[in-house]
Chain A
Amino acid sequence: DGGITQSPKYLFRKEGQNVTLSCEQNLNHDAMYWYRQDPGQGLRLIYYSQIVNDFQKGDIAEGYSVSREKKESFPLTVTSAQKNPTAFYLCASTPQEGINYGYTFGSGTRLTVV
């Protein structure tokens, strides 16, 4: 079955530590996205990539970094510069063609700073 897989489901980070969240899709989708979700808020865009080896900052990119070396993979690194990283992180993908905007979401990674 095609889909988008995020791992791990739960992640604990110590203060000052970098961590990387994995997002893999086998849907042959061109575009991939990272969103952050906090309690009481909607999804806020961190980074997105519409093509391999290219990505753009979203609304809250500070303290995060990404890479897009392969079409299938779009890992997100939460760096020590991110002052409040505890949140639920969602990855999504979509075909780039204009007609279908439907995003497919992963099941999320919950990151907690300890």
Chain B
Amino acid sequence: GESVGLHLPTLSVQEGDNSIINCAYSNSASDYFIWYKQESGKGPQFIIDIRSNMDKRQGQRVTVLLNKTVKHLSLQIAATQPGDSAVYFCAEISSGNTPLVFGKGTRLSVIA
């Protein structure tokens, strides 16, 4: 398949283990954050979001943690599956009318 990122940071995990993907954001005024998953040759898909007035949000098998003090965002995936293999991006936005700003991404590789 096509590669969307030849030199991205890579995280390799065993199937069934938990994964933690980290993201440092730059704008202290950002008030909304989103995690996207991108499979090879496809567009990004929404995973989970969080607003700046929260520090944790849970979805199905995924949890996002936000630490505004150090401008850090993380995505935790429980019981990682081969289908979770993809590139994961965090994105931030500082106001309602400004476009999303994306981080560089992390490639998650699940070892069966």
For B5, B100, B105, the residue with the greatest tally of chain A CB atoms inside 10 Å of its CB is B100
Report the stretch among A61-69, A74-82, A96-104 that lies at the interface: A96-104
Count the A-B residue pairs with Cβ separation under 8 angstroms: how many? Answer: 63
Q: Which of A42, A45, A48, A105 contacts B104 (CB 8 A)?
A: A42
Which B residues are in CB contact (< 8 Å) with A71?
none
Which B residues are in CB contact (< 8 Å) with A101?
32, 34, 49, 93, 96, 100
Interface size counted on chain B using CB atoms at 8 A = 27
Question: Which residues of A are interface residues toward B (Cβ below 8 A)?
Answer: 6, 33, 35, 37, 39-45, 48, 50, 58, 88, 90, 92, 96, 98, 101-103, 105-108, 110
Question: Which residues of B are interface residues toward A (Cβ below 8 A)?
Answer: 2-8, 32, 34, 41-46, 49, 89, 93, 96-97, 99-105
